């Protein structure tokens, strides 16, 4: 799969995306002696990801408390989820790393996804980056293609915060006493 198909747009600065996919085990030294890899972009992408996911979760669950929102966000941005989404996007086929390291025992693909988010931010700005996180990562991969990610997130968050659905008894309204119902409505306001 091509990078533009993953991103949903054509990058303006391809070099920054190449850097986002360059693991530190394969760092490249520049002419001025600096080492290029994806760590700084990962740092930036992590911050952008948190801000965007906070906004998305806040808007998606308008009646939930802070603890639920925090727990939901942490389940979405946790390493295992990021790795899974990165592999589903095809980043495991694009990350450049030394064959000396074992790619199955670390979080290099999730880290590369965060670096990719940092690259999108620098290349296209926050709005395009937000759209990528919302439409590609959360909507397409986490919530639709892999309900095994979304369902446990919501179930664990609900269990953690003691949220459970209980049957609600509806009050019986008497046809003979409409004034009692009207009084109850007024005092509730």
From the number of C-beta atoms within 10 Å of its C-beta (0-12, 13-18, 19+), residue 125 rates as exposed
Strand 35-36, strand 28-29: pairing: antiparallel
Q: Which of 18, 39, 46, 92 is labelled catalytic?
A: 46
Region of residue 11 (left: phi > 0; alpha: psi -120 to 50; beta: else): beta
Q: In angstroms, rounded to a whole number, what is the distance separating the alpha carbons of residues 72 and 45?
A: 19
114 catalytic residue (yes or no): yes
φ, ψ of residue 161 to 5 degrees: the values are -100, 10
Q: How many CB atoms are located within 10 Å of the residue 17 CB?
A: 23
In DSSP terms, 35 is beta-bridged to 29
Q: How many CA atoms are closer than 13 Å to the CA of 96, on its beta-carbon side?
A: 13
Is 46 catalytic? The answer is yes
Residues annotated as catalytic are 46, 114
């Amino acid at each position: 799969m091509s990078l533009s198909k993953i991103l949903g747009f054509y990058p303006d600065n391809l070099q920054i995306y190449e850097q986002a996919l360059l693991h530190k085990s394969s760092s490249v030294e520049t002419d001025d002696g600096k080492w290029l890899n994806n760590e700084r972009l990962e740092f930036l992408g992590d911050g952008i990801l948190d801000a965007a996911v906070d906004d998305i979760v806040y808007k998606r669950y308008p009646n939930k408390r802070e603890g639920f929102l925090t727990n939901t966000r942490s389940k979405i941005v946790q390493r295992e989820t990021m790795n899974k989404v990165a592999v589903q996007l095809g980043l495991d086929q694009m990350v450049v790393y030394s064959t000396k390291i074992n790619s199955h025992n670390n979080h290099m693909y999730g880290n590369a996804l965060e670096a990719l988010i940092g690259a999108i931010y620098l290349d296209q700005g926050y709005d395009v980056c937000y759209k990528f996180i919302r439409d590609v990562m959360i909507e397409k991969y986490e919530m639709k293609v892999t309900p095994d990610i979304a369902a446990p997130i919501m179930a664990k968050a609900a269990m953690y915060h003691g949220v459970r659905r209980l049957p609600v008894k509806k009050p019986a309204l008497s046809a003979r006493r409409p004034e009692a119902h009207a009084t109850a409505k007024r005092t509730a306001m």
